[in-house]
């Protein structure tokens, strides 16, 4: 009964704290650049009009026409902790869902811009192209290596596959993230708990 009385007495403050916490997350969440998103759409969308099995090349250094030195790509599920580990700083944006694609551009260690393509609710987005990214979570590219292939799927022509032009090479990662991934995969292999604390 004493606990119940305490909750009733403090309900106002508990609700206010929850509201401020939620509002803080909303206020600090970065906003997606719709101009950049339109440019990415314009680069990938023509693959929808070529013959099934054909492909086109996309130079992200030309698409993202602002100062950046590193691009991180996330496809499929990716929690904020994973994204933070990959880019080397706290990620305050949304997490990546199963059918999503996130591109994060950094310049001199700071997030310069980002775009996210949400696979399951794309009809609600102002600028969108449906593609399937074939990248490892947190794969790293520079302006010199960020050349992608957009291929219209032969078996399912309504799909566009996007992958690195140099996909035969080993994936590049930020060094600390590469170690983090190796430890994570070993923990999964052994079935042991894995700490997701901030290291960066």
Mean pLDDT score of the chain, rounded to an integer?
Answer: 82
Q: Are residues 38 and 135 in the same domain?
A: yes
Torsion-angle region of 52 (φ positive above 0: left; ψ -120 to 50: alpha; else: beta): beta
In a domain, 109, yes or no: yes
145 and 164 belong to one structural domain: yes
Q: Which residues contact 193 (CB under 8 A, 6 or more apart)?
A: 187
Please tell me whether residues 6 and 90 are part of one structural domain: no
Same domain, yes or no, for 125 and 45? yes
Whether 196 is covered by a domain: the verdict is no
**Cβ(173)–Cβ(82) under 8 Å?**
no
**Contact (CB, 8 A) for 132 and 150:** no
pLDDT of residue 4: 56
Is residue 19 assigned to a domain? yes
Whole-angstrom Cα distance, residue 65 to residue 35?
11
Residues 87 and 75 in one domain: yes
User: Do residues 146 and 101 share a domain?
Assistant: yes
Residue 60 lies in a domain: yes
Asked if the structure places residue 198 within a domain, the reply is: no
**13 shares its domain with 53:** no
- Cα 121 from chain centre: 16
CA atoms of 112 and 67, how far apart (whole Å): 8
165 & 107 share domain: yes
185 CB-side CA count, 13 A: 7
pLDDT at 126: 63
Find, among 133, 159, 127, 140, the residue nearest to 47 by Cα: 159
The answer to whether residues 23 and 66 belong to one domain is no
Residue 98 sits in the same domain as residue 171: yes
Q: Does residue 195 belong to any structural domain of this protein?
A: no
Q: Give 73-129 pLDDT, tens digit per residue.
A: 998 777 788 899 999 999 998 888 888 899 999 999 999 999 998 876 555 566 778
pLDDT at res. 46:
94
**17 shares its domain with 95:** no
- Count of structural domains, the chain: 2
Same domain, 96 and 20: no
pLDDT tens, residue order, the chain (200 aa): 565 554 455 455 444 444 433 334 434 567 888 999 999 999 999 998 999 999 999 999 999 999 999 999 998 777 788 899 999 999 998 888 888 899 999 999 999 999 998 876 555 566 778 888 999 889 999 999 999 999 998 888 888 999 999 877 788 999 889 888 888 778 878 888 776 655 65
Domain range enclosing 176: 31-190
Whether 197 is in a domain gets the answer no
> Could you give the CA distance from residue 78 to residue 136 in angstroms, rounded to a whole number?
11
Determine the Cα–Cα distance for residues 95 and 100; give it in Å rounded to an integer: 9
In a domain, residue 200? The reply is: no
């Amino acid at each position: 009964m004493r606990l119940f009385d305490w909750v009733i007495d403090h309900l106002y403050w508990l609700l206010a704290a929850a509201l401020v916490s939620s509002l803080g997350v909303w206020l600090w969440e970065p906003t997606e650049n719709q101009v950049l998103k339109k440019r990415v759409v314009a680069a990938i969308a023509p693959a929808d009009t070529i013959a099934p099995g054909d492909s086109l090349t996309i130079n992200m250094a030309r698409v993202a026409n602002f100062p950046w030195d590193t691009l991180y790509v996330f496809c499929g599920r990716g929690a904020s902790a994973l994204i933070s580990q990959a880019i080397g700083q706290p990620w305050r944006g949304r997490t990546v869902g199963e059918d999503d694609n996130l591109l994060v551009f950094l310049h001199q260690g700071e997030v310069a811009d980002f775009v996210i393509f949400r696979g399951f609710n794309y009809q609600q987005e102002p600028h969108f192209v449906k593609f399937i990214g074939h990248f490892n979570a947190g794969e790293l590219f520079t302006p010199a290596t960020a050349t992608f292939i957009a291929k219209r799927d032969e078996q399912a022509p309504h799909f566009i596959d996007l992958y690195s032009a140099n996909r035969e090479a080993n994936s590049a990662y930020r060094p600390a993230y590469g170690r983090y991934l190796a430890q994570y995969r070993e923990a999964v292999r052994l079935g042991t708990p894995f700490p997701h604390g901030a290291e960066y």
